[in-house]
Amino acid sequence: MNAARRHDRGRRVTTPVALFVAAMSITHERVLAQSSREAVDTAQQARVDALFTAFAEPGAPGAAVVVARGDSIVFARGYGLADVEHSIGVTPSTSFRLASVTKQFTAAAILTLVEAGKHRLDDMVGHVLDDVPVYARDVRVRHLLAHTSGIPDYEVLLGSDDGPQLKDRDVLTLLHRAKKLYFPPGTSWRYSNSGYALLALIVERVSFQLGKYRVNSKEFFAQIKKLVTAGNIDRAIKLCDAGDYPTLQLVKAGLTHANKGPDEIDAAMSEKIGELKPAVEKRIGSLWSLANIATLVGLLGTVLGLIHTFGAVSAPGLSAADRQRILANGIAEAMYNTAMGLGIAVVCMIAHLILHQRSKTIQHDLDATQERVFNLLTIQTRPGGY
């Protein structure tokens, strides 16, 4: 990134000679100031370079340096190699593994989600994540945060074929190789990388899952189907509590009546969809009315403007040039009123068209979701179902 450069511009009305003298003086001052800043920047760069001489040696693993003043980056440079084997140099944009420095950010993300009501510190890991080993399902989020979970270290579970780099999901897979916790949750303390890998998965699940489901209802329904098929209705309901979207509300209405028979499931979902559809359509119709009103107001402004113009032109004592000027200005103002009214109307009509189509899509999705959830729940409760 480049260092910020600032300058200000003065302006004064005076004689041509004074303007010339003032301009020369200002230019001279700017040149001196610019030279001073460049000298300071060069000196600072030399000092930073000296500090990182060891990193810049041939074949040495490197580092990236950024110096900032306020909100401006004044220095950014890479030293040495990011990939020694392939001789790839470090740049200011090189990504580095932060190791356990990320734990504080993971913890902050978890607590932010707790404050937002997305999950609780006392939620059990087995209720939040899929495929958690049986021995770890009752561990709570607060245990993971405080290193009191007793979850085994994944490092001791690594095999020769697991590779040097792991993702958080890989850690969860490795934990299935263990048989039990080191100690009952909350009874002791042991630093745990595994625990924070699970916390990172929780952040990923809670933060991003709903965003994907909002644009991909098929994926969301696939997850619901998986949970219902496994008999885990409570987790399916909890998944629906992740946001206040119409589809999630409708699915939850069906799930909360899953054990009450087909008639009650259908009635509950029909009642909920009756509540949701008017909310989806709310205020969309007013855009069309506003478009009509804007058109009429523009036409009214045109008519009134022309009436005023013709009245002014007919006044006695005006020269032909004055009449022509008044008439031209009046017609221009009248046409401006028309254009403004029509412009507002066009914007409102376009917005109405987009929102109306979006509303129809949402309503179609709600109808399809109602049918799919009803079929899923009723088939699930039949003998020989899933």
Average pLDDT value for the chain: 78
Confirm if 193 and 168 have CB atoms less than 8 A apart: no
pLDDT tens digits, one per residue of 78-115: 999 988 888 889 998 888 877 888 899 999 999 998 98
Collect contacts of 249-258 with beta carbons under 8 A, ≥24 apart.
249/276, 250/276, 250/366, 250/369, 250/370, 250/373, 251/221, 251/224, 251/369, 251/373, 254/370, 254/373, 254/374, 254/377, 255/224, 255/228, 255/373, 255/377, 258/228, 258/233, 258/377, 258/380, 258/381
pLDDT tens digits, one per residue of 166-202: 888 889 999 999 999 999 999 999 999 999 999 998 8
Candidate from 109-118, 209-218, 279-288, 305-314 with smallest mean pLDDT: 209-218
Instruction: Look at residues 128, 130, 155 and name the one whose alpha carbon lies nearest to residue 143.
Output: 128
State the DSSP H helix or E strand holding residue 248, giving kind and residue range, or none if neither. helix 246-255
CA-based radius of gyration for the chain: 34
Q: How confident is the model at residue 42 (pLDDT cuts 50, 70, 90)?
A: confident
pLDDT at 216: 55
**Residues belonging to the chain:** 386
The set of residues, in sequence order, having a beta carbon less than 8 Å from that of 274 and lying 6+ positions away, is none
What CA–CA distance (Å, rounded) separates 294 from 341? 5
Confirm if 221 and 370 have CB atoms less than 8 A apart: no
pLDDT tens digits, one per residue of 321-357: 888 888 888 888 888 888 888 888 888 888 778 777 7
pLDDT at 32: 38
What CA–CA distance (Å, rounded) separates 281 from 145? 44
What CA–CA distance (Å, rounded) separates 5 from 101? 34
Reply yes or no on whether the pLDDT at 7 is more than 80: no
